[in-house]
């Protein structure tokens, strides 16, 4: 009888520990609503994008998603039907200023200091805004405005 009780207690402890470790490994997700030329992450449709930016220069399918390339931005949609804008990638709009106050061609080292993050190639990530800043080691070359990101 003692062996059965001991075995059951070990089993319950094991289940409790695995449940706690599962909770500890869950990732925190944050969602944002960013706007670029009346296009909103998480809300705007392909039709709205085309209405505001014109026809895309090209379309690229990648890992279950679709990127539409325009002159100044790349708009990313998940591959599902009736998808909404997932990310807006600023690639050639030098007048655009992110909510962090960063523009294309800003110095990567001063950007890292401003964001209070470690210099990391090829991106800098703002946990506060969820924005990814791609760089070439010297300057910011792409600003990615997300809908939802993992913060961890």
- 77-100 pLDDT tens trace: 987 778 999 999 999 999 999 999
Go through 102-130 and write b for each residue having 16 or more CB atoms within 10 A of its CB, e for each that does not: bbbebebeebbeebebeeeeeebbbeebb
| Separation between Cα atoms, residue 72 and residue 67, nearest integer Å | 13
| Separation between Cα atoms, residue 90 and residue 84, nearest integer Å | 17
Mean predicted lDDT score pLDDT of the chain: 85
pTM value is: 0.81
Tell me, what's the pLDDT at 28?
Answer: 85
Residue 12 has pLDDT above 70, yes or no: no
Residue 118 has pLDDT above 80, yes or no: no
Tell me, what's the pLDDT at 21?
Answer: 46
Judged by phi (left if over 0) then psi (alpha if -120 to 50, else beta), residue 127 lies in: alpha
First to last CA, the chain: 46
């Amino acid at each position: 009888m003692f062996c059965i009780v001991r075995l059951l207690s070990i089993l319950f402890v094991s289940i409790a520990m695995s449940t706690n470790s599962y909770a500890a490994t869950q990732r925190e997700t944050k969602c944002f609503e960013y706007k670029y030329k009346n296009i909103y992450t998480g809300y705007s449709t392909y039709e709205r994008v085309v209405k505001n930016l014109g026809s895309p220069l090209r379309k690229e399918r990648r890992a279950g998603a679709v990127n539409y390339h325009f002159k100044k931005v790349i708009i990313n949609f998940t591959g599902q039907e009736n998808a909404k804008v997932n990310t807006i990638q600023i690639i050639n709009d030098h007048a655009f200023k992110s909510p962090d106050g960063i523009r294309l061609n800003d110095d990567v080292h001063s950007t890292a200091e401003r964001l209070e993050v470690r210099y990391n190639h090829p991106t800098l990530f703002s946990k506060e805004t969820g924005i990814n800043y791609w760089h070439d080691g010297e300057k910011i070359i792409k600003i990615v405005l997300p809908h939802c990101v993992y913060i961890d």
